Amino acid sequence: MDDMFAWQKRIMKRMEEFNLEHADAVTGLDSYMLENIKFNFPELDINTFEVLHGYDPHDFSEGKDHSVLNYKEEKLYFLYSGLFYEQNQSDMFLKAIKSAESSGLVNGENIHLHFQGGLDQRIHKQVKSSKLFEYFGTGKPILGLVYDGESSKLLKEYTAGFFGNLDDNESITEQICSIYQKWELEDLPRSSKEFMERFDRREITKNLAQILTKFHPNNILVLFNLQ
């Protein structure tokens, strides 16, 4: 709505309020989104439910390893997967890698950086996507360079999660050193089964079905698997 004229924003606000007044419930991708809705419409009594993106476990089942990278056991690999644009650059990460190497705690010869992505001039704003949940699906360690918020909260709960503040080179460097030291000791963490099950899309779909049934118990809901 930032690119709209004031009169357009007023119309959109009235339409949003009308829909919220007549909705049985509102689902949101995270608690921040739902809290923002309640903040903007404090006079409304809204039933809100968090329904996360999640991941499809079928994408990570056995036999799904299509990696074309030539991995070497003696290297610690950092993989960046995504687009590069104005608000999403790897500068802080590369500076932290250099700082970690300069500290003497990390041997740069043992680290391999792989960047998988590209440039897209059409993207000008950073948005939250489902990528983090797809990364959870791998069960592998994740280094997140994020501000305090929903992403950092989830990474704290993810037992294989590391995160550093985007504005703090020292915190990112510390995380890289920690990852490197755990890798040397062959002690890199993996996610717990319980955590990963929370974001399995089959479980999320069941939860969504329960929400729909709660407000419309006489309707018939059929869940099926397309595998």
26 phi and psi angles, rounded to 5 deg: -125, 130
Answer whether residue 224 is part of any domain: no
* The pLDDT value given to residue 204: 92
* The pLDDT value given to residue 100: 95
Q: Are residues 184 and 135 in the same domain?
A: yes
Answer whether residue 7 is part of any domain: yes
Is the pLDDT confidence value at 126 over 50?
Answer: no
Q: For residue 67, name the pLDDT band (cuts at 50, 70, 90).
A: low
* The pLDDT value given to residue 131: 79
Number of domains in the chain: 2
Answer whether residue 98 is part of any domain: yes
Answer whether residue 28 is part of any domain: yes
For the stretch 128-181, pLDDT in tens is 556 788 889 888 899 988 888 888 888 889 989 998 888 899 999 999 999 999
- What's the predicted TM-score (pTM) here? 0.71
Answer whether residue 115 is part of any domain: yes
Higher pLDDT, 123 or 51: 51
Is the pLDDT confidence value at 89 over 80?
Answer: no
**Using CA atoms, how far apart are residues 203 and 200, in angstroms rounded to an integer?**
5
Q: Are residues 44 and 85 in the same domain?
A: no
Q: For residue 120, name the pLDDT band (cuts at 50, 70, 90).
A: low
* CATH code for position 153: 3.40.50
Q: For residue 109, name the pLDDT band (cuts at 50, 70, 90).
A: very high
Q: Are residues 87 and 137 in the same domain?
A: yes
Q: Are residues 28 and 81 in the same domain?
A: no
Q: Are residues 184 and 88 in the same domain?
A: yes
For the stretch 31-63, pLDDT in tens is 888 999 999 999 999 999 998 888 988 887 765
Q: Are residues 89 and 120 in the same domain?
A: yes
For the stretch 187-223, pLDDT in tens is 999 888 888 888 999 999 999 989 988 888 877 655 5
Q: Are residues 38 and 117 in the same domain?
A: no
Answer whether residue 216 is part of any domain: no
Q: Are residues 96 and 8 in the same domain?
A: no
Q: Are residues 35 and 85 in the same domain?
A: no
In a 3-state reduction of DSSP, which class is residue 65?
A: coil
Answer whether residue 78 is part of any domain: yes
Answer whether residue 199 is part of any domain: no
Contact 196, 204 (CB under 8 A): no
Q: Are residues 90 and 189 in the same domain?
A: yes
Give the domain range for residue 28.
Answer: 1-50
Give the DSSP H/E element, type plus range, for residue 163.
Answer: strand 161-164
**Using CA atoms, how far apart are residues 208 and 52, in angstroms rounded to an integer?**
10
Is the pLDDT confidence value at 125 over 60?
Answer: no
* The pLDDT value given to residue 2: 65
The mean pLDDT of the chain is: 83
Q: Are residues 38 and 61 in the same domain?
A: no
Q: Are residues 11 and 81 in the same domain?
A: no
